Chains A and B, each alone.
Chain A
Amino acid sequence: MRRALLSVLSAVALAACALAGVRGAGPVPPLGQLLDPANGAWAAARHDELPGDVSVDIPNLSAPVDIRYDRRGVPHIFAATELDAMRALGWASARDRLFQMEAQTRAAGGRTSEWAGARAVESDREMRRLGIAAAAERQLAGFAPGSPARALLDAYADGVNAWIDGMSPGDWPIEYRLLGARPERWSPVNTMLLFGRMGWTLAYGPMEQRYAAAAGLVGRDAAAALFPPHSVIVEPIQPNGSSQPRFDFRPLPPPGAPDSAMGRVAALFPPAQDPGDEPPSRFASNNWAVSPKRTAAGKALLSGDPHLEMTLPSIWYEAHVVVPGALDVYGVTIPGAPGIVIGFTRDVAWSFTNTGADVVDFYRETVDEPASPTRYQVDGAWRALDSRIEEYRDQGGRVVAVDTLRFTHRGPLSRAADGSWMSMRWTVLDSRLRPDVFLGAAHAVTTRAFLDSMAAGYGAPAQNMIVADRGGSIAIRSTGHYPIRPAGTSGVVVQDGSSSSSDWQDFWPVEQYPQALDPAQGYLASANQEPIDPKVNPVPLGWDGDFEPWRALQINRLLRADSAVTPDAMRRYQTDPGSDRADLFVPFFLEAARAERAAGRGTPSLDSAAATLGAWDRRYTRDNVTAALFELAMRELSRRTWDELSNAAGRRVATPASDMLLNLLQDPHSRWWDDRSTGEQVEDRDAILAMSLAAARDSLVRQYGADWRWSRLGVTRISHLLGLPAFSLRDIAVQGGPGTLNPASGAGFGPSWRMVVELADSVRAWGTYPGGQSGNPFSARYADRVPLWAAGELDTLVVPRDTASLPANATRARARLTPTSGSGS
Chain B
Amino acid sequence: MIGLRIVLATALLGLFTVGGNPTLGPVLIGALCGFSWLEQGPRVAAISAVLSWGGLLLFGTLRGQPIGEVASKVGSIMGVPGIALVVLTILYPVILSTAAAYLAAQVSPIGRLARRRT
A residues sitting closer than 8 Å to B (CB atoms) are 3, 6-7, 9-11, 13-14, 17-18, 21-22, 28, 31-46, 168-169, 174, 178, 724-727, 777-778
Contact = CB atoms under 8 A, between A and B. Distances in A.
A7 B115 CA distance: 15
B27 A42 contact: no
Contacts of A43: 60, 65
Contact of A169 (B20, B102, B103): B20
Contact of A17 (B53, B57, B63, B92): B92
Contacts of B3: none
Across chains A and B, which 3 residue pairs bring their CB atoms closest together, nearest first? A36-B22, A32-B23, A37-B56
B20 A6 contact: no
A178 B77 contact: yes
Contact of B88 (A35, A724, A778): A35
Contacts of A727: 73, 77
A14 B69 CA distance: 30
B22 A778 contact: no
A778 B69 contact: yes
A44 B27 contact: no
A21 B22 contact: yes
Given A3-B106, A777-B73, A33 B66 contact: no
B89 A37 contact: yes
B70 A44 contact: yes
Interface of B: 17-18, 20, 22-23, 27, 53, 56-57, 60, 63-67, 69-70, 72-74, 76-78, 85, 88-89, 92, 95-96, 98-100, 102-103, 106
Contact of B65 (A6, A13, A42, A174): A42
A116 to B, nearest CB: 15
Given A43-B65, A46-B65, A14 B22 contact: no
B17 A37 contact: yes
A716 to B, nearest CB: 21
B69 A42 contact: no
B73 A28 contact: no
A38 B17 contact: yes
Given A46-B65, A778-B70, A18 B23 contact: yes
Nearest to A174: B74
30 contacts: A9-B99, A10-B98, A10-B99, A10-B103, A11-B103, A14-B27, A14-B103, A17-B96, A21-B92, A32-B22, A32-B92, A33-B22, A35-B22, A35-B88, A35-B89, A36-B20, A36-B22, A37-B53, A37-B60, A38-B17, A39-B20, A42-B56, A42-B67, A44-B70, A45-B65, A45-B69, A46-B65, A724-B77, A726-B76, A726-B77
Nearest to A14: B99
Given A10-B99, A14-B27, A32-B23, A42 B70 contact: yes
B34 to A, nearest CB: 10
A199 to B, nearest CB: 32
A21 B23 CA distance: 6
A416 B31 CA distance: 60
Chain B, interface SS category: helix
B27 A18 contact: yes
Contacts of B27: 14, 18
Nearest to A39: B20
A40 B22 contact: yes
B21 to A, nearest CB: 8
Contacts of B53: 37
Given A32-B92, A42-B60, A43-B65, 13 more contacts: A7-B106, A11-B99, A14-B103, A17-B99, A31-B92, A32-B22, A35-B92, A36-B17, A37-B56, A37-B89, A42-B89, A45-B66, A726-B77
A31 B74 CA distance: 12
B96 A14 contact: yes
Given A13-B99, A35-B89, A41 B65 contact: no
Nearest to B106: A7
A789 B77 CA distance: 27
Nearest to B56: A37
Contacts of A38: 17-18, 20, 22, 56
Contacts of B92: 17, 21, 31-32, 35
Nearest to B52: A37
B36 to A, nearest CB: 17
A32 B23 CA distance: 5
A217 to B, nearest CB: 44
A474 B19 CA distance: 58
A22 B65 contact: no
A103 to B, nearest CB: 16
A774 to B, nearest CB: 13
Nearest to A21: B23
A35 B20 CA distance: 12
B5 to A, nearest CB: 20
A761 to B, nearest CB: 44
A28 B88 CA distance: 13
B98 to A, nearest CB: 8
A48 to B, nearest CB: 8
Nearest to B96: A17
A10 B103 CA distance: 7
B106 to A, nearest CB: 6
Contacts of B77: 178, 724, 726-727
Nearest to A724: B77
A289 B67 CA distance: 48
Given A13-B95, A14-B96, A14-B99, A28 B78 contact: yes
A11 B63 CA distance: 37
A14 B100 contact: yes
Contacts of A37: 17, 53, 56-57, 60, 89
Nearest to A20: B92
Contacts of A34: 74
Contacts of A21: 22-23, 92, 96
B70 A45 contact: yes
B49 to A, nearest CB: 11
A359 to B, nearest CB: 39
A101 B70 CA distance: 23
